[in-house]
Structure 1
Amino acid sequence: MDDVIYWYAIAAVLLFFKMFAVSAYQGFHRIGKLTFKTPEDAAFVGRAAASEELPQVQRAARVWLNDLENIPIFLALGVAYVWVGASAGAAPWFFLAFTGARYLHTVFYLSGLQPWRTIAYALGVVCMFGMSVQIILALP
């Protein structure tokens, strides 16, 4: 297997695990406090629906939205990176640095830590710009 594909696959799986963990974090807080905004979920545990989501769930939802703005773009760029045969030596650095940045962004967002959240976000964006440059350079 090509090294670029290998590192892309590792990054994709790690990003899936990260996003799944954010969902589990939301569920942990909802179930732990038996607080659900959706009426049928609240009724299932014998409670009235909450007027709003728990603060932890709201924060995790914002993490999800940020992931949905960034991770699909990374995945698309990663496919292009593989297709055009961009730098194999740079691939693990871009793919793993982006993935690490997204993990850190999540931890910092859930913890309310600035400027670290923004630094982690910016690192991920820099990786995507770097990937874009490598893709362009690999085109005939």
Structure 2
Amino acid sequence: MEIDIIKQGTTGTGPNVYQENDTRANYEIVDGEPVQGVSIPFRLFLAGYELTLMMQNTNKKFSVSYYLSLVLIDEEERCHFKQQKVALWRKGKNVQKSMFHQAAITSQSLEGTASLGEVRTPSQLPDNNNKQ
């Protein structure tokens, strides 16, 4: 049983579409045929590979997709194939704040005194343009 990470790049539009497949990684999970009904967990560590983010129809001319391709050979030497599209993205270093928390931060930066329980709407903030 083998599993591959395949990068599929598509460029061009209309009849001038060029598609390129590139195998980025190849793992042999099981040597020989697996026993029927047995689950085989595995982990793929992606840090060692030059992988990009998944991009769909960038400017309607460019796409990058990734697939996991599984090849299974049974005891009668028959090949079984399965390909599954996967999405790759980068997890941001900063955790996305809730709208409430963002409003509190904005309020504090404008006035410097508001706490999370004292968030005000923009109409309630002091007008700094009318300085004498």
> TM-score higher than 0.5 here?
no
Higher helix residue share: 1
RCO comparison, higher one (Cα < 8 Å, 6+): 1
Q: Name the TM tier (shorter chain).
A: under 0.3
Higher strand residue share: 2
Length-normalised TM-score, structure 1: 0.20
Length-normalised TM-score, structure 2: 0.21
